[in-house]
Amino acid sequence: MVAVNPLFPRAALPKQQRPITIASGEDFSRFNTMYYLKGALAGGICCGVTHGALTPVDVVKTRMQLDPVKYNKGMIGGFRQVIAGEGAGALLTGLGPTVSGYFVQGWFKFGGVEFFKIQAAKALGDEKAWNNRNGIYLGAAAIAEFIADIFLCPLEATRIRLVSNPTYAPSMMSAMTKMASEEGVIGGFYAGFGPILFKQVPYTMAKFAVQGKVAEMIYDGMKKQPSELSGSANVGVSLSSGVVAGVAAAVIS
């Protein structure tokens, strides 16, 4: 039995693997505007919350990268240095642009992957799309991440500026206004666009492709289809495959 990939449209399965009661057009019709908005919102919330929660780590990591002579005692030592020198509140420097930036990035990344993936499956037809699903994952992820990074880059530049120079401005908006007036939009916000693309695009491509493949392998090993399992079991498969995909993506990026 070939396991259904839960991250791929069911209508893109070859006909012999599709539920007999579901026709291709009927299945694709459920991928409407609300479907994409839900995916985008879920992605935005998850990315915003997880990256926001890691703001203290990003603060110490950025200080270590920008001033390795001063911050040369490792991650734990870096935490102690920041707290001793500036107070515990300094660990939340850049929280605003981090949460905002990664909410927007998650919105376009997860919503975009769903949109481009499903449009490609519809254009190619059922069997051809299923046979080329890995390529579709990679292409959809690359396009979605490129678009997401256009919106992420200004906020990430603002975060780095605030972390590297805490006295630069009192807030995210004032920092962005000051950067735009001093350096212009391109110089201030998009000087690091290339490095962000080289980091984020391979990461996202690997994440979605690996998660899809690992999820298939898990279902195949269980000899079960997603429809035959409970909601909690499917969530477990998604989380397990997501962990593996996250590790693989981190190594690649």
At 64-99, the pLDDT tens digits run: 988 899 999 999 999 999 999 999 999 999 999 999
Instruction: Tell me the average pLDDT across 20-25.
Output: 36
C-alpha to C-alpha distance for 160 and 137, rounded to whole angstroms: 31
Query: What was the pLDDT predicted at 100?
Result: 94
Instruction: Tell me the average pLDDT across 127-148.
Output: 92
Residue 71 sits at φ, ψ, to 5 deg, of -100, 80
Mean pLDDT (the chain) is 87
The vertex-39 CA angle with 35 and 44, nearest 5°, equals 145
- The number of C-alpha atoms within 13 Å of 213 and in the hemisphere containing its C-beta is 17
More confident residue, 145 or 227: 145
Q: Percentage of residues in the chain with pLDDT exceeding 70?
A: 89
Of the candidates 108, 134, 104, 103, the residue with the CA atom closest to the CA atom of residue 211: 134
C-alpha to C-alpha distance for 29 and 31, rounded to whole angstroms: 5
Q: Percentage of residues in the chain with pLDDT exceeding 90?
A: 62
What angle in degrees, to the nearest 10, is found between the helix axes of 172-189 and 95-124? 50
Instruction: Write down the pTM of the prediction.
Output: 0.82
